[in-house]
Amino acid sequence: MDLARAIRDVPDFPKPGILFKDITTLLQDPAQFRETVERLAAPWRGQKIDVVCGIESRGFILGGALAERLGAGFVPARKPGKLPAKTCRVEYALEYGTDALEMHEDAVKKGQRVLICDDLVATGGTAKAAAELVEQLGATVAGFAILVNLKFLPGAKVISRWPAHYVVEFD
């Protein structure tokens, strides 16, 4: 199944010059969604994943399904001000500005193995920030399960200190 063909390109979103990879066209097809989750999960089976951390917002969709598939818990990494309890925070740069991620201070426990899931890695800032949050809380980053790697941007290199699995790569 060619999942790359199911991902729609949206030019100039969220700002001019950005070519947005829209995965909603892939997710709306049940067989493609199932295959996506299976491919995200395959390399992590038997790796003792305790928790999947999904990065806001499309990482929630994929991460929740991935956690269920791996028999793991799920925690969100969210944009600032979205979580109700005490949080820790990491700021990062992305290809079109700056942002921050937060997690509840009790989201993961010391020694847990956490798999970070997102729809796409571009510059790597968001993924690296999620990894830093996990490590700040005393857990171990087992790796990354990411649907799309934009190979023409430095994201994969930025997170290269951790294992990463990409389902689809665009040159």
Helix (H, G, I), strand (E, B) or coil at 44: helix
CB-based burial label for 93 (10 Å; 0-12, 13-18, 19+): middle
Is residue 88 within 8 Å of 77, Cβ to Cβ? no
Separation of alpha carbons 69 and 67, rounded Å: 5
- State both tokens at 3: 């999942």
Is residue 54 within 8 Å of 76, Cβ to Cβ? yes
Which residues belong to the active site?
58, 95
User: DSSP strand E in 31-107: where?
Assistant: 51-55, 73-77, 87-94, 97-104
Separation of alpha carbons 89 and 140, rounded Å: 17
Separation of alpha carbons 95 and 18, rounded Å: 9
Residues 6+ positions from 97 with CB-CB distance below 8 Å: none
